[in-house]
Amino acid sequence: MSAASVDGDPLLSVRNFKVHLRVGGAVVRAVDGVDLSVDQGESIGIVGESGSGKSTLARAVLKLLPNVELADCQGEVNFRGLDLARISDPALRDLRRHHGFSMIFQDPLGYLNPTKRVGTQVAEAIGGKSAASIGERVQQLLAEAGLPSPLQLARRFPHELSGGMRQRVMIAIALASEPALLFADEPTTALDATVQLQVLETLRRLHRDRKMAMAIISHDLGVVAELCDRVYVMRDGKVLESGDTVEVFENPKHPYAAQLIELSTRHRRHAAAVGSKAAP
Amino acid sequence: MSGAAAIEPPAAEPGPLARAWRSFRTIARTRHGAAGCAILLVLALVAAFAPLIAPYGPLQQARASLAAPSLENLFGTDNTGRDIFSLLIYGTRTSLAIGLGAAFGALIVGGAVGMLAGYFRGVVESILMRVVELFQTLPVIVLVLFTVALFGSSFWLLLVAVILAIWPLQARLVYGQYIKLRGMDFVAAAKVADLSTAHIMLREILPSAIQPVIVQVALDASVAILIEAGLGFLGLSDPNMVSWGQILHVAQDYMTVAWWTSLFPGAAICLAVVGLNLFADGLNEVVDPRMRGQLAGLQS
Amino acid sequence: MSEPILQIRGVTRRYLSHIPSSWRRRVVNAVDGVDLNVNEGETLAIVGESGSGKSTLARLMLRLEQPSDGVVLYRGVPLTDLNRKQWRAYRRDIQAIFQDPSSSLNPRMRVEQSLAHVARRHELAEPAQLRAFLAHHLASVGLDPPEQYLPRYPHQLSGGQQQRIAIARAMMLEPRVIVADEPLSSLDISIQAQVLDLMRELTSRRSIGFVLISHDLNAVQSIADRIAVMQRGRIVEIGRDIFDAPAHPYTQLLLQARLSTNPREVRTHLANLSGVQASSQTSEPPGFQV
């Protein structure tokens, strides 16, 4: 769904955002003056090649960058009217746990604790409440993330699951806080093609059923074409082009964006000849 | 976009010698590294210029035996009247020799065994790692006791004994590194290019394997000094050799009446061990952040 | 293109793998009874998902691993039976490039050193001409001026540059076939296109064959003469036009899993599915701002 938010104000608004990082001995302008917004229930995509700053942007906005690396961070970041730059730690924690924002990452194996069962990790994300009600909620979330037999699966360890299932567990954990906005950093890059399609379907379903806003960061324009209403194209820390996904794909204005799109769609004449994706 | 890279490669990096000097300066810049370097430098100078610094010869008798520290005998004298200050100075030579000698000996022996076991794996690995474990369980002190009882002690005996005690750890370290590195693509590429096994082990893998190993060498040296001190304390040292452990051995019986005979040798041993450990800390600084800079890029 | 330069006959590669949380071990056939010919001058693509065995098959071709069953033949001779001279010819004729260019070059060696070791081993140039020889080959893969690249360490170069150097290293030996194991997946899209172009140039100008292992069907389709699809250690389909007319259901599955890069198509498709008229066909939904 791509309707603008009811009250007209964006859910997340980022203005003139800059992030300078310490890399080796030098300071790198990873994000160099970015404007971005996400409306309620909307899904946006941030595409770029490596070094474009897209991941750094997301992590900096959500305050996930380690202090050691961060040399400077400027700009306005507003989430539902709250200034994230000046927000207190407890308030930030509250946002992360209740109806605020969540993030899923590229590599679930590195993110999940290998020594804890999957169900335990989802339960920890829910936090509080009695053991009984949590158990039900855990299963609910696992099922919502598209995992079969949640009861048995909750007892497994991460390394016992396939890549796609692990990614779904990470999604379940992210959903635990009932976020209004879900960030996904290269959510399907590490997955096989067939699994990728299914996980994208799941994300799409969640976006629709929960009316949850999504920000998808990817280098793969196919992912963005599948999921996103609007897209931002980044390079070297700047947004070169943004707009409605169909518009940008069909009439790109910036030459770099045009080139990226051309390269990704080169094969389309072959793809068109093959059996289409209609009728699942 | 056609043609080759759009990015200009940055300026060339300096070679190994220049890098070593830069590493040294990085070490000296850390607090630990600087302190360690300073201590080691002092010890090295003392060892080198011992005859010039020491007021008395190593076996020379000063005045009274068991004299308390005074202006003539800064650290007092031992039970035979030798000046302890001079003994410590000459002992520095022995300790450093055994410390560094054993550390490098362990590097060579352990490094060779670890390299072969880690690279070839299979049967070679099984046999060699059992040997490593055997030596780890060996009671070195008991063996040294036997040998000294039968053949008498000597500097070389001690050196070999300490090497036997510490080489297994280095072997394990190198083994782990080779196991990790042998699976890397550049090793596969070298095999596909028909480069010889010796070349791959020594020229391709070794430079990457060496970094944590170097830190271990510094730590090994400190352990070696401690072991030598222990063996000397037990009386297993060569009596013709001046070593800190030996001074302690003699001092055992007089600990309550002549505190200076045990305090100062003990302090010297501490100083050397601490100095080497601090230096190892500094080395660690060089090893880790450099890896981060070289291998990790900023992914975004 | 007469006799295949490489023949793979009934090759199986077995591993013992641990069943999680159990004492028992399980036999896994990473490659399971595969028959395959690699012809000179041809680009053969091997596609499949993770666990398909395509990388293991590549390593078996390169003799980085040995088959548990079956035999790999070079010019009709089993690899285990090659004499010294034949072995050297095999190593020159069959070269490789790997997935992660930053780890396929020795991080502690300058580019010049890495390449020189290979050149000297195979006596490709007189010592006095060595540098010029290396420079020539760097230039031929598009690294110009080559003198700038020779003294660098790999970490000073971009992924695309590193991959080109890996290609140059393989090309120096004038191979007949280059086995490329996922050479594009670590690279940015724009760089992928450049490396693909380079590979195409090498096949057409120098009639070098490639065995291209990839999970990227689009890249494969643009360059391959023949395509083999692997699943769980077996080749399920192989041929010239299998993407245009896939016979095997797994091939069809792979093709269907390709993401559409046409957002308009996606929207229409979704709208049809949900039975709601797409409002975005001709005009943008209200309230949209860049």
Say yes or no: C206 contacts chain A, CB-CB below 8 A. Answer: no
- pLDDT of B285 reads 77
Q: What is the pLDDT of residues C86-132, one digit of tens each?
A: 999 999 999 999 998 889 999 989 999 999 999 999 999 999 999 99
C-alpha to C-alpha distance for B172 and C100, rounded to whole angstroms = 28
- Please, which contacts does C223-228 make with residues 24 or more away whose CB atoms are closer than 8 Å? C223/C43, C223/C45, C223/C196, C223/C199, C224/C43, C224/C44, C224/C45, C225/C42, C225/C43, C225/C44, C226/C42, C226/C43, C226/C44, C226/C45, C227/C44, C227/C45, C227/C46, C227/C47, C228/C36, C228/C44, C228/C45, C228/C46, C228/C47
Q: Is A27 helix (H, G, I), strand (E, B) or coil?
A: strand
Q: Is C69 helix (H, G, I), strand (E, B) or coil?
A: strand
- pLDDT of A267 reads 65
- Please, which contacts does B285-288 make with residues 24 or more away whose CB atoms are closer than 8 Å? B285/B26, B285/B27, B285/B30, B285/B32, B285/B33, B286/B23, B286/B26, B286/B27, B287/B211, B287/B212, B287/B214, B287/B215
Query: Who among B10, B184, B185 is closest to C156 (CB)?
Result: B10
- Residues of B at the C interface, defined by Cβ within 8 angstroms: 1-5, 7-10, 12-13, 184-186, 188-196, 199, 203-204, 207-208, 293-295
Strands (E) in A24-122, as ranges, are 26-38, 43-47, 70-79, 82-83, 101-104
Q: Do C106 and B294 touch (CB under 8 A)?
A: no
Given a cut of 90, whether residue A98 has pLDDT beyond it is no
**Apex CA B79: angle with CA B75 and CA B82, to 5°?**
55
Question: What is the pLDDT averaged over residues B225-252?
Answer: 87
Q: Do A52 and B1 touch (CB under 8 A)?
A: no
Compute the nearest-CA separation of C102 from chain B (Å). Answer: 8
Q: Do B185 and C98 touch (CB under 8 A)?
A: yes
Q: Do A55 and B297 touch (CB under 8 A)?
A: no
Chain B residues in contact with C121 by the CB 8 A cut-off are 193-196, 199
Tell me the count of A-C CB pairs closer than 8 A: 124
- pLDDT of A274 reads 46
Say yes or no: A56 contacts chain B, CB-CB below 8 A. Answer: yes
Positions in chain C short of pLDDT 70: 1-2, 20-21, 275-290
Alpha-carbon torsion C244, C250, C253, C254, what sign?
negative
Encoded tokens for C152: 């660098």
A97 alpha-carbon distance from chain centroid = 16
- pLDDT of B2 reads 34
C-alpha to C-alpha distance for B296 and B226, rounded to whole angstroms = 38
Given a cut of 50, whether residue A275 has pLDDT beyond it is no
pTM of the model: 0.83
Q: Do A56 and B300 touch (CB under 8 A)?
A: yes
Compute the nearest-CA separation of B2 from chain A (Å). Answer: 12
Q: Which chains are adjacent to chain C, needing at least 3 Cβ pairs under 8 Å? A: A, B
- pLDDT of A85 reads 81
Chain B residues in contact with C103 by the CB 8 A cut-off are 184-186
Q: Do B207 and C173 touch (CB under 8 A)?
A: no
Question: What is the pLDDT averaged over residues B254-282?
Answer: 89
Q: Do A55 and B299 touch (CB under 8 A)?
A: yes
C-alpha to C-alpha distance for A162 and A156, rounded to whole angstroms = 11
Given a cut of 90, whether residue B238 has pLDDT beyond it is no
Q: What is the pLDDT of residues A119-171, one digit of tens each?
A: 999 998 888 666 677 788 899 999 999 999 999 999 999 988 998 999 999 99
Q: What is the pLDDT of residues B190-207, one digit of tens each?
A: 999 999 999 999 999 999
Q: Do B189 and C109 touch (CB under 8 A)?
A: no
- pLDDT of B59 reads 73
Q: Do B9 and C161 touch (CB under 8 A)?
A: yes
Chain C: residue whose CA lies nearest to B204: C106
- pLDDT of C274 reads 73
- pLDDT of B10 reads 57
Compute the nearest-CA separation of B186 from chain C (Å). Answer: 4
Q: Do A51 and B298 touch (CB under 8 A)?
A: yes
Given a cut of 60, whether residue B295 has pLDDT beyond it is no
Tell me the count of B-C CB pairs closer than 8 A: 101
ipTM of the complex: 0.87
Of A180-189, B13-22, C273-282, the poorest mean pLDDT is in C273-282
Q: Which chains are adjacent to chain A, needing at least 3 Cβ pairs under 8 Å? A: B, C
Encoded tokens for B42: 């002092």
C-alpha to C-alpha distance for C14 and B121, rounded to whole angstroms = 18
Compute the nearest-CA separation of C268 from chain B (Å). Answer: 32
- pLDDT of B82 reads 84
Residue A278 pLDDT class (50, 70, 90 cuts): very low
Q: Which amino acid is at B184?
A: M
Mean pLDDT of chain A: 87
Chain C residues in contact with B190 by the CB 8 A cut-off are 106, 117
Tell which wins on pLDDT, C40 or B81. Answer: C40
Given a cut of 50, whether residue A177 has pLDDT beyond it is yes
- pLDDT of B81 reads 80
